Amino acid sequence: MNLAALRYEELSLNTFPSLRTEVYDGWILRFCEGKSRFDSCVLPLYLSTRAYEEKIDSCERKFAAHSLPCIFKMTSNVPSALDQQLEQRGYALTGKTRVLECTRDSFLSNQERRDRKEKQWPKPDCSRRENRLELSISKNGTLLGRGLAVFEEDTAGLYDISVNREYRRKGMGTAICRALMEESFRSGARSIHLQVPASNLEALSLYHSLGFQEIYLYWYRAKEAAARIRNE
């Protein structure tokens, strides 16, 4: 079992709690009416004792009762037999996402190799509220980019990183990420993690250059109509 995958999936559940959560024989069922339809899903996180066929039928009924599609979030820890059975029942694979991690030591080592000619941007503005760190970089009143770090235990997750369209491909994304990482490690984090769509090769290259390494992959299994929504 990939223990890092289990840990980060649990942290994700805590960071983004659902309106209602149900534990069903080792599977976590999340019901999030009003949010992204893919926030509502089944996470087969733990060992299961009942037959898959029976459990899938039950999950489909539970989500239908909430007028929600039944969607499964899968990781490499999920038995291949379950993934195959979902495929046989018409659940398409969609939303492949890579989860990356950077330790403090890896970041410091990467900093030593940092290009001294890297463009210098204005000093970022930081706002810390409880376990959240919001960071932005502005110039002459124009927002250039921003991002969010959420802390739990000894790790921080990076989310909502965005760059002003006029400043893309100019190093602003790197500057935002680096500033968030510096502040996170300064605040006591021992590792930082983030999620990247598997098809976003440009973002993956950026994060690898900052010292991130892939620790696991997750994907969704959804019926055709729901899978189309996820890919749009």
232: pLDDT strictly greater than 50:
no
Same domain, 109 and 83: no
Q: How far apart are CA 137 and CA 157, in angstroms?
A: 19
Same domain, 67 and 129: no
On whether the CB atoms of residues 110 and 129 are closer than 8 A, the answer is: no
**Boundary residue ending a domain (55, 70, 89):** 89
**117 — pLDDT class (breaks 50, 70, 90):** very low
Mean pLDDT of 79-96: 96
Q: Model confidence over 7-59: pLDDT tens digits?
A: 999 998 988 888 899 999 999 999 987 656 568 999 999 999 999 999 999 99
- Asked, for residue 222, whether it belongs to a domain, the answer is no
- Asked, for residue 45, whether it belongs to a domain, the answer is yes
Q: How far apart are CA 50 and CA 26, in angstroms?
A: 10
- Asked, for residue 202, whether it belongs to a domain, the answer is yes
123: pLDDT strictly greater than 80:
yes
**Boundary residue ending a domain (54, 89, 124):** 89
Helix (H) or strand (E) holding 158: strand 155-163
Would you state the pLDDT for residue 17?
A: 83
On whether the CB atoms of residues 172 and 121 are closer than 8 A, the answer is: yes
CATH code of the domain containing 204: 3.40.630.30
Question: Mean pLDDT, the chain, as a whole number?
Answer: 90
Would you state the pLDDT for residue 15?
A: 84
Would you state the pLDDT for residue 87?
A: 97
Same domain, 37 and 122: no
The total of structural domains in the chain comes to 2
Determine how β-strand 27-31 pairs with β-strand 132-139.
unpaired
Q: Model confidence over 195-229: pLDDT tens digits?
A: 999 999 999 999 999 999 999 999 999 986 555 54
**What domain range is 159 assigned to?**
100-216
